[in-house]
Every structure is written in structure tokens, then in C-alpha cells.
Amino acid sequence: MSNKIEVNPETAGMGRRRFINTAALAGLTAGVAACTEKPANAPATAASGPAAAPAAAHTDAANATHLKPGELDTYYGLWSGGHNGDMRVLGLPSGREIHRIPCFVPDALVGWGITNESKKIMGTKPDGSLRYTVGDTHHTHASYKDGNYDGRYAWINDKINSRIARIRLDYFICDKITELPNVQGFHGIFPDKADPVDPAINYTTRVFCGAEFHIPLPNNGKDVDSPEKYRTMFTCVDAESMEVRWQVLIDGNCDLTATSYDGKLAATNQYNIEGGAHYEDMMSAERDACAFFHIARIEEAVKAGKFKTYGDSKVPVVDGTREANKDPKTALVAYVSTPKNPHGVNASPDGKYFICAGKLSPTCTVIELAKVLDWFDGKSEKLDNAIVAEVEVGLGPLHTAFDGRGNAYTTLFLDSQVVKWNVEAAIKFHAGDKNAKYVVDRADVHYQPGHINASQSETKAADGKYLAVGCKFSKDRFLPVGPLHPENEQLFDISGEKMVMLADHPVRGEPHDFIIFKRELVRPKQVYSHDDFPLAIKDPKESGVFRNGKKVTVKLTSQAPAFSLREFKLKKGDEVTLILTNLDKIEDLTHGIAIPKYNVQFVVNPLETASVNFVADKPGVYWIYCTNFCHALHLEMRTRMIVEG
Amino acid sequence: MSNKIEVNPETAGMGRRRFINTAALAGLTAGVAACTEKPANAPATAASGPAAAPAAAHTDAANATHLKPGELDTYYGLWSGGHNGDMRVLGLPSGREIHRIPCFVPDALVGWGITNESKKIMGTKPDGSLRYTVGDTHHTHASYKDGNYDGRYAWINDKINSRIARIRLDYFICDKITELPNVQGFHGIFPDKADPVDPAINYTTRVFCGAEFHIPLPNNGKDVDSPEKYRTMFTCVDAESMEVRWQVLIDGNCDLTATSYDGKLAATNQYNIEGGAHYEDMMSAERDACAFFHIARIEEAVKAGKFKTYGDSKVPVVDGTREANKDPKTALVAYVSTPKNPHGVNASPDGKYFICAGKLSPTCTVIELAKVLDWFDGKSEKLDNAIVAEVEVGLGPLHTAFDGRGNAYTTLFLDSQVVKWNVEAAIKFHAGDKNAKYVVDRADVHYQPGHINASQSETKAADGKYLAVGCKFSKDRFLPVGPLHPENEQLFDISGEKMVMLADHPVRGEPHDFIIFKRELVRPKQVYSHDDFPLAIKDPKESGVFRNGKKVTVKLTSQAPAFSLREFKLKKGDEVTLILTNLDKIEDLTHGIAIPKYNVQFVVNPLETASVNFVADKPGVYWIYCTNFCHALHLEMRTRMIVEG
């Protein structure tokens, strides 16, 4: 039953730089070999190695990233937290982490997963314990209006348990989590930028989610032995209600997701159209695909009842498989071919192109959206005519960012480089103009880059100022801290012709994707309102212990340096709900509350209310104390909980 | 039963800077008034406000903190993670967070609290679930040899559940956690620096722990209504075994802990010698204390059987209360008086003094260790003769650092300043030389500083290069991110006469204490050895599914880009132990493993082995995948777990 793979581990003792290339290439030989037929005079291979930034340029530019004490960053970055399961907020260009937003995984600081309010968002089992305590976030994107971020929401995926979380960008908190039915390995995520039909809706109302792993449908333990019958789905979630609107059954595994500026198309690049269960099978076909979803048609089909449901799920699922979508005029999905196992699909800020990076092929494929729509409209005979360029850029292309000046920046995982290339020049080259020099610049990065993004890159307002590169290995770039290395987010100045590296930023593994936008695009609120909380205790006089048999409610307020109750008594076995409102209404005056031995700790920000349930099962005196330094008498800020035996 | 405190919340709408002072002072009026009789010509009050660093000085110095890409920091910082419950590793002077070390609280990235190995260290309930998932770390200190850090261990406290964790500084991981008996609110922590008796033991063998909250003994629900009978304890933990060696029953609440360089004395500053339950009572006495523990005598008393035990605990407890320790010649504990509610006690690097900061008093109290020993030896009539200085430094003194050149740096919480003062000049001033100008410099910080530390400050090798200040409020110093603000760790260059502020570093709340040391003092290891793990699978050929009735062991290895098993089958209801060894032995080649819907995620670093238990209760196909980007074919690195229905 168990097939074993024998991999030669004889890489110990090799030089570091040599190892990186060897290890990253191991197992790839066959895959890459098929793709490395170089076009004659390809500029990519003609480029003579990495362009080192002049020392003087570094010094000037790099000083710009060192903010003087008190100076504010000019850009926000929203970073996925990988298998930390959180979202992070960075300031740029400093690279400083200003905030972490818990969503899929408990957070002991704020009490995420401890308070009743956060548990309700995270989801619980029938016994009240958390359904999941792990997560694996990959991609984060924010809501749009008029093609730019509007500061309402961001979304982030959990690949392990196929969940999508929404972040409110006023309070910078997670307010909704939805678990997608019928799928496994939900990976790519992207909000739409407009409605496909109603031009008045020029903002995000849907979020699209691509699932990676193909599974039996329903996944109930039957039909497990026929991977060729497994399928995956592309899912649409309502941006406001966070309900799942519909799903599309498809061939192949979804990787990333992208959406058009006109709202008409969403896409996912795909590997494993072979439906293979082993990795050799997953890369046996010469070409995979970028699947384009015709949103208006899909929603018409759902409306017309042309859908199925699977298992316990009520979500309508339309058929987007190749077999069912051969006729362009009725097709819901169009599969544009790409070289095998592409990685990443990104929408250019001019709204014209989606670019798939080749991963196993040293190329980027440029797909023109107008030509995909032509195919859907029956105006184009061959769908692959939408491919307007497929040019060599280097080894292991993964993701692409844009500067708004017509240039693309693609990470080269195997080369440990970023390549800057001009999209229109690439199109000319592909059309036959072999003098078109599309590669503009190359820069070494450290090491093995995955995602890349530029300031405002995936908006119409791409400004070509900063570029961040998520390097998967940091190796020797930071002080050693034992076996687990940080990742290395490298920052570049891309305002000139040459990329100039500014700084290395270590980050706890493993940020995948991130977005960078101007600070004026969000309008954060720093003090809550009582109205945000149904349980708010608006006056300290409402504090007290309210008993109904064994059910006890303790109402408590905080105002530096004291809790409203000095002490309170419980009886052993009481089922307690403790509600705490922070009545301090000054920005940054957060209190915390901990109950020793009762596994309770959470914070209440200005005017926030939170609650916890616990059973008073341990008799004794328990000094409840403030955990968030609030005042010169913070240490003395306590209340005494007495549990009578 | 419930006493309510009415605090005037009318601070909304006030200017920010004005608020800070008002809020921080609220409730302090009575306490401070008693202490603000200023000595004539006191330099502290004569100093004309904060000394602004010259702009040019800032520019030069600040550039030093911006490392060029690839440049390494020169110092490590170990930072407590507050109610995040972790330890953090920073590089300085850049201020970059390189690592977080989970200890008291689960960590989804590494699988801390998920793997069997980490659960064993954290502690579980009889049903196998974690005993605690919250923590509140305050103080972190490292092991010593010859008065300097020796790179073996660091320790950190959990105040909520009175636990102490040990961190191995080779692998930068937590390897032991001990819950202290008989105490609540364990707060201050410090390793000894030498044995009190055996001069050959010139390194750390004990760790001292001060507990803050006084409780009934035993704390079983009886005697709850007589706070005057509550007591707390000072605890000694063995540095190697992490067993609790002994405890000392004392009067008053322990705050911080300090140890002498000769190993003879440990100390804790104390508030609430009144034994009050409400905060007014806690500050009713004019003076509190710094309690000094005579380690050799305590250990002799334990050896001689002069101890009690409490409740279920077998730990010997000696009597260190005032009543029982009146005779200096037999005393185990000496209570040197300090102004009321002191905060922080720090040992000067010359080995001579312990300095208590006044908090409610605008003073620092300098206690000469030789004179405390004189009292124990019957050579000093009055214990308080050990106080060689008690000088005014500013409002709200909390903690003190040292530069090795005779200067102390004390945080002033209420003034939002750091004051640099000369210890010997302060002693002269206290002795009557009113011309002794002990205040050297003042610097504004942003805002409300708590802990402070300088590079190598609490070692004999204090080098006076960098100073970090943990500011409890950041207010407007970073881009707004909603109601929860980061704290602000400010970095200063203290190599000159004037302090020069270098940078603001945001940190997730709430680092309390931290240490900063030269990078050459640790010798990190970046690849594990199979010998570290009893369950190590040394060859992929050992992989497989091994069944014993319903008990199933799955042995799996990882080598990029594949797991050793391509798929494996389980039956519904199987009780599974999955063991994974990472056979990649190259630095930084970490793999992760996630099982969808089974709440499993952990990482295995090079040559690490970890295991998890789960019940295969959900039939279906589950694609186990690698969560830590490892290779160009990382996305394809999966194994298929089939649970037959």
C-alpha cells in the first residue's frame, strides 16, 4: 500500500550557494528539460547575470527606509502570516510590523479563541471548544472601488481547512469566517473589482476562491481509489454576507486567482489538469491551463437552476468542466493553455492582461482579456489566440508585480532573482520582432523568492515606487536563531530604470502574498463604540454579580487603575459568564484581564466589551489582574475572585 | 458584596499629551504628594527639561541602525512577549524580530501545543488537551558564567499560571516548563551568577522567582476572607533539573528579582507590605521594602529540616517573615526599607549595589550589598544603613539600566523620560555633598516607559553602547491600525555623554523586560541530530503504516520535494500516531505538514522528528501537504491520506 520514494540525501557538506541551486532543482530535471528550448537570441538568456546596484545608489535610497524617530511610514502592507494563520500589518518603507490580526488561529494577547465573541467568529464544536486551532494563510487582497482599494475589507484564505476570513479595515479585526463546502486546499483568493453586468456597482461585491486539491464528491469515504474521478471547485463568496453564492466544478487544480477590472472575468491558473495523484503524474502533460470564468453566464445558469448540490451542502454548483464547456457561446469556463504547472496569475494595472508565470517553464504567458471575451462571444476561433506573449524570463518564474509604467517584475525561484521585463516589448517579441528587448533589469535576491508585489501593483493606481519580494529562504542573512530561520522580505526601490535593493526584513514564516497601498486609502478607527457590542456595560454602576441558580453573570468595567468590582464571590460549580467593558475611551488605553489557573486572558480596547464563560471548579482566592500596562498603578489593578469551596 | 469604584472618566476630548499626564497620574495624587518633598538644590528638579539630541548627532547615529542588505546585527535581544506568552529574539541595532520562541502558549507555525513533544513540555489535562493556552511573560534573563552570559539557557516567567520556562540557547527552543506550587502571580525572575559557598561554581545553577499575589495557604477555598493572613513566597528552581528546590514564606508582594555577582544574595523589591486587598491599602504605609535572601542560610535551614510543606506540594518552605527573622545572625531574610511601592530592582555591573526605583516616590534607592551582608554578619546595627543613596530622579521611576561607566539610566513613567544619573555622585549627594550633580542627562521617550535595558547591562561586561526603552504607549508614533496599538521600543545610542535616540520599533504588546548581549556569546546550532529524538526515523525505508488493532503508527519522512509515503490508508476510528522525521539536513530546509480538517499542522526542521496523535474519525480523502515552502515543487509535495468509511 505504501509507495516509498527514494531521494538521494547526499547534499550535506555542499557549499551553501551551490546547495540552493541543487536542492531547488532536484526532481525538476525532467520537467524543466522539456521547457528549456530557448528561442534564438532570447534577451533573457543574453542578459549577462545580475545587475548589481551601484553602492552610492544604495546608500541614498536605503536611508529613505530608515525613518527618523516619530516619522510615519507612507504605505501600509497587508501580509499573510502563512502557517501562523494570522494577517500582519506592516509599515513601509520601514518594514516594521505594526500589528497582527488573528483570524484562523487563537491569539493569547487579545484573547482570540478565548472570548465568546471571537469563538463565535472562529467556530466551535458542540462542546464549545474551538473547531480548529491551526490555519495556513496564503493570499490576502482588499476590497476595490473604481479599480483602487477602498479601505473597507481585506480577505485571507486558510488552505488547511478551506476557510475565508474577512478583515475590517476600520478596526483592523477579523469579523467573519466562512468554511467553503465541497473543496479541499482552498488556496487562491481575489475580490472582484466591479459587477459584470451593473456598471453602477463599481466596487467589490464578490470574492473568488480557488481550491487546489481534487477530492471525491462528496468526500465521504466512497470512491476514494479513483483519483481520475476527483474534482475541485472554484467558489464565489458574497463580500458582505460572507455566504457562499455558488461554485463551479472544474478540471485541474487551482493555484492563484485574479479578476478583471471590468468585473466580467475571474481566472485561476491551474496545474495537474492530468488529475494525477503523484507529482510525476501532475507534471506529465506538456501544458496546463489558466481557467477563465464568465461571471455573468455562471450567475445566469445558477438563476436558471442549472446546477447540482453535493452532500449536505446547499450551495449551487454549475458544471465548468472542459467536457461541458466546449461551445464558446454557452461556455461558463474557458481553459486557455499555459506551459505545464504554472504558478501565479496576476492582472496588469492597465486592465488588459493576465500573466501566468511558468514555474516549470522558464516563461511568462501573457493572456489578453479582450481576446478571451472574443472567444466567449464567438468572435475568436481558437481560445489560445488570447495568448499574446509567452517569453522566456529565467528559471522558476512564480509571481508577477507591476509598476504602472508597463513593466512587470517576476520572481525567479530557481535563479533567486527578480526579472524586470516590459510587457509590450514581450508582446512584440512574441509576435516576431526578435529585436524587442523585453528584459529591462535583473536583481539577485536572497534566496528563492515566491510572491512579489509592488506598491499599489494590483490596482489602476500602480505607482512603481516600492517592490517587496518574499524570499522563502534567508540562510545567512540574519543572526542565527537555531534551526528555524525567518523568511526574508526584501524591499526594492523601483522608481528608476534599475531596481535598487533597500533592506532585508526578517519575518516569521511564512508570508506568501501581500499587498502594499498608500496610507490615505484606509480610515482606521481607534476607539470602539458601545453600539458595537450588545453586551456593553455603559456605567460602572451596572457592575455586579447576577445569579440565576448556578448560572452567574459577572459584570465588570475597567477604568485605569481599577476594575469596578474590588472583589466578588462565586460558589464552586457556578457556570459563570464574565462580561468586561473598558470604559476608558482614550486612544491606546487598553486593559487586559487574566484569571490565574482559569485559562482566561483577553484585552479590551477603549470602549470594547468582551465576555468569557468558565466553570468555577477550583475553590480558592484568584487575583484577577490587568495584563496590559495602563497606568502607574497598573500592578495594583486587580480584583479578587473568591470561589467558595 | 461588590464594592464599586467610581472613577471620573471625563478625559475624552483632551489633548493627547495632556491626557497622558492626567491619566497616568489619576489616583496617584495622595501617594505622590507624600513623597515629593524635594531636597534643596536637587539636581533632578533643577534640570531644565529634556535634552534634545542635536539633529546632526541623530543623523549620524541613526544611520548606524540601518543595516545594509545582508549586514548582520551585532547584538541579540531576548524580549519577553507579554500576554502573547512567547519569547522573542531581536537583532540590534536594527530592531528586527528574527524569531519567536513559543513556550507557554500554542504556536500554529511550529505546531507548539499540537505535537506530542511540545504538549509534553506544556503540560496536559487527563484528557490529553492542553492545561493552559494563555500566558503572560514579563521577565527574561539568561544563564551566567564569570558574571557574563554563557549562552546556555534563558528563562522566562508566566504570571497568569505561575510557570517558569527554560529556553535552550543552542536551538532557541523551550525545553522545560515548571509550574510553581503555593504561589500566584509569579512575576520577577533572575538566575544566580555563582554559588554562595563553592567558588568553583562560578555559573548559574539556580533561578529565583518572586510571586506577587498573596493568597491563603493552602489556597483551597478556606480562610478566604482574611487577607491579612494571606502570604506569598520566593521560590528557588534548579537551573538544570527545573525542579523547585525550596520556597521562602514572606511578608509583602514580590515585584522584581535581582541577584548578586558573588552568589550570596538574591533580592526582591516589594510593594504591599501592608497585606492590603485594595489598592489604597496597598499604598497606605510610607515605606515598603527590598527583601534580601541569604541563600546559604536558607539552604542550610532546608538541609536541617527547618521547613514546612503546604497542601499537596512536597516543596520545603522556610519561614522568611519579618516576625521570624528579627535576629540578624540567624535571619534568612532581611527587609531593607524603600519608599512605598517601589518598582524594579537592578544590580549594578560593578557588583556593589542594588537599585530600587521609587514608582510612587520620585526617587531611586541605592542599597550597598556589602552593608547588607554586614547586617547578616552582625556587623551593622541598623539594616537601613545599607541605603547609601535615596535621591530624586523624576516622576514615576520604574527600572534601571547601566552603562558600565558608573551611570544608571532610569525610566520615568509619569514624566515619559529616561534620566541618566551617576551612582557615585548620587551617593555623595545623599551623604551631604549638595554640589554633587548626579543627574547627567534626560531624554523624552514616547510614551510612558516601563522596562529599560542597555547592552550587556546586567553583566560585568556592561558596554554602554545601546539602550532600549520599552514604552507602554505608542499613541501617534506609527500608522494607525485600529484600537490596539503596538508598544514602542525606542533605541538610544549611549556611547556619549548625551543619549541619542536612534529609532522607534513597534512591537506587539506587551514586552516587559529584555536583555541585550553581544552576538558572540551564543553558539546556535541550525541542524538537529537524530539523537535529539527518540522516535527519529533514520531511513525512508522505515516508513509505513504499522497496525496493532485500532492503534496505528504512521511513519513518514520528508525530503524535498516529497514525503516518503505517496498515500496511506486508515480505517474510520483508528487511533493514529503519525511520526515525521525531516531527513533534509541542510540549514533552513524546513518542511511543514498539515492534515485538512484534522487540526494538524507542525513543522520539522532539518533532522527534526515530531509526532501527533489523532483519531481517524472523518472518512474521505485528505491531502496531507507541505506547509513550509521548500522547493520549486513544494505545491506538489503531498501525501494522500485515505480514511475508509
Q: Looking at the complex, does the CB of residue A635 fall below 8 Å from at least one CB of chain B?
A: yes
Say whether pLDDT at B567 is over 70.
yes
pLDDT digit string, tens, across residues A191-226: 999 999 999 999 999 999 999 999 999 999 999 998
Chain B residue numbers with beta carbons less than 8 Å from the beta carbon of A589 are 23
Question: How large is the average pLDDT for residues A3-18?
Answer: 34
Question: Could you give the residue ranges of the DSSP H alpha helices within B53-115?
Answer: 55-65
Distances from the Cα of B273 to the Cα of A636, B39, B40, angstroms? 13, 26, 30
pLDDT digit string, tens, across residues B376-428: 999 999 999 999 999 999 999 999 999 999 999 999 999 999 999 999 999 99
Distance CA A590, CA A99 (A): 15
Q: Where in chain A is the domain with CATH 2.130.10.10?
A: 31-179+399-422+440-525, 180-392
Predicted pLDDT of residue A233: 98
Residue B240's closest CA among B205, B201, B209? B205
Distance CA B393, CA B413 (A): 12
Lowest mean pLDDT among A269-283, A361-375, A494-508: A269-283
Distances from the Cα of A427 to the Cα of A418, A437, A597, B24, angstroms? 20, 11, 66, 64
Residue A530 burial by Cβ neighbours in a 10 Å radius (0-12, 13-18, 19+): middle
Distance CA B485, CA B474 (A): 7
Q: Looking at the complex, does the CB of residue B30 fall below 8 Å from at least one CB of chain A?
A: no
Distance CA B415, CA A125 (A): 49
Predicted pLDDT of residue A60: 58
Residue to mutate among B601, B617, B637, B638, with most A CBs inside 10 A, is B601
Residue B267's closest CA among B295, B240, B307? B295
Distance CA A614, CA B65 (A): 47
Predicted pLDDT of residue A228: 86
Question: How large is the average pLDDT for residues B124-136?
Answer: 97
Predicted pLDDT of residue A278: 86
pLDDT digit string, tens, across residues B417-436: 999 999 999 999 999 999 99
Chain A residue numbers with beta carbons less than 8 Å from the beta carbon of B7 are 540, 559-560, 562
Distance CA B406, CA B390 (A): 16
- Residues A180-392: name the CATH superfamily: YVTN repeat-like/Quinoprotein amine dehydrogenase (2.130.10.10)
Beta bridge partners of A265: A294
**Does residue B14 contact residue B22 with C-beta atoms inside 8 Å?**
yes
Average pLDDT, chain B: 91
pLDDT digit string, tens, across residues A147-178: 999 999 999 999 999 999 999 999 999 999 99
Q: Which helix H or strand E contains A397, and what residues bound it? A: strand A397-402
Distance CA A469, CA A590 (A): 34
Question: Taking CB atoms and an 8 Å limit, are A568 and B23 in contact across chains?
Answer: no
Q: Which residue's C-alpha cell is 483568493?
A: A189
pLDDT digit string, tens, across residues A306-339: 999 999 999 999 999 999 999 999 999 999 999 9
The class level of CATH for B530-644 reads: mainly beta
Q: Which residue of A has its CA nearest to B544?
A: A2
Residue B398's closest CA among B453, B457, B367, B358? B358
A277: confidence class by pLDDT, cuts 50, 70, 90 = confident
Count Cβ atoms below 10 Å from residue B211 Cβ, excluding itself: 27
Residue that wins the pLDDT comparison between A580 and A340: A580
SS3 per-residue string spanning B297-366: HHHHHHHCCCCECCCCCCCCEEECCCHHHCCCCCCCEEEEEEECCCEEEEECCCCCEEEEECCCCCEEEE
Q: Which residue of A has its CA nearest to B174?
A: A482
pLDDT digit string, tens, across residues A181-200: 999 999 999 999 999 999 99
Query: What value, to the nearest 5°, has the Cα angle with vertex A180 and ends A179 and A183?
Result: 130
Which positions ≥6 away from B107 have C-beta within 8 Å?
A84, B86, B100, B113
Predicted pLDDT of residue A37: 31
Say whether pLDDT at B281 is over 90.
no
Average pLDDT, chain A: 91
Predicted pLDDT of residue B302: 98
Q: Which of residues 436-495 of B touch A (CB under 8 A)?
A: 446, 448, 450, 472-475, 477-486, 490
Q: Looking at the complex, does the CB of residue A55 fall below 8 Å from at least one CB of chain B?
A: no
Distance CA A440, CA B419 (A): 54
pLDDT digit string, tens, across residues A390-399: 999 999 999 9
Quote the longest CA-to-CA distance of chain B. Answer: 87
Predicted pLDDT of residue B277: 86
Distance CA A251, CA A222 (A): 20
Residue to mutate among B175, B343, B478, B585, with most A CBs inside 10 A, is B478
Q: Which of residues 292-321 of A touch B (CB under 8 A)?
A: none
Predicted pLDDT of residue A46: 32
The domain A31-179+399-422+440-525 having CATH identifier 3.40.50.720: the answer here is no
Question: Taking CB atoms and an 8 Å limit, are B565 and A100 in contact across chains?
Answer: no
A448: left (phi over 0), alpha (psi -120 to 50) or beta: left
- Give the three cell numbers for residue B199: 567558588
- SS3 label, residue B208: strand
Residue A29 burial by Cβ neighbours in a 10 Å radius (0-12, 13-18, 19+): exposed
Q: Which amino acid is at A320?
A: G
Residue B297 Cα, gap to closest chain A Cα (Å): 31
**Does residue B538 contact residue B611 with C-beta atoms inside 8 Å?**
no
Predicted pLDDT of residue A209: 98
Q: Which residue of B has its CA nearest to A219?
A: B620
Predicted pLDDT of residue A63: 61
pLDDT digit string, tens, across residues A243-258: 999 999 999 999 999 9
Question: Taking CB atoms and an 8 Å limit, are B479 and A76 in contact across chains?
Answer: yes
Residue B2's closest CA among A562, A100, A355? A562
Chain A residue numbers with beta carbons less than 8 Å from the beta carbon of B89 are 481
Predicted pLDDT of residue A34: 32
Q: Which helix H or strand E contains A300, and what residues bound it? A: helix A295-303
Say whether pLDDT at A31 is over 60.
no
Distance CA A263, CA A255 (A): 20
Which positions ≥6 away from B181 have C-beta within 8 Å?
B244, B247, B310, B311, B312, B313, B315
Beta bridge partners of B621: B642
Strands B75-80 and B514-518 come out as antiparallel
Say whether pLDDT at A238 is over 70.
yes
Q: Which helix H or strand E contains B122, and what residues bound it? A: helix B116-122
Predicted pLDDT of residue A279: 80
Q: Looking at the complex, does the CB of residue B363 fall below 8 Å from at least one CB of chain A?
A: no
Say whether pLDDT at A20 is over 60.
no
Cis peptide before A132 (omega within 30 of 0): no
The shortest CB-CB distance from B24 to any of A69, A219, A631 is to A631
Residue that wins the pLDDT comparison between A463 and B32: A463
Residue A453 Cα, gap to closest chain B Cα (Å): 18
Q: Which residue's C-alpha cell is 525545553?
A: B175
Question: How large is the average pLDDT for residues A69-87?
Answer: 97
Q: Looking at the complex, does the CB of residue A517 fall below 8 Å from at least one CB of chain B?
A: no
Say whether pLDDT at A100 is over 80.
yes
Distance CA A141, CA A78 (A): 8
Distance CA B452, CA B445 (A): 11
Predicted pLDDT of residue B61: 58
Predicted pLDDT of residue A280: 83
Quote the longest CA-to-CA distance of chain A. Answer: 87
- SS3 label, residue A573: coil
Predicted pLDDT of residue B63: 61
Q: Where in chain A is the domain with CATH 2.60.40.420?
A: 530-644
**Does residue B387 contact residue B290 with C-beta atoms inside 8 Å?**
no
Question: Taking CB atoms and an 8 Å limit, are B3 and A608 in contact across chains?
Answer: no
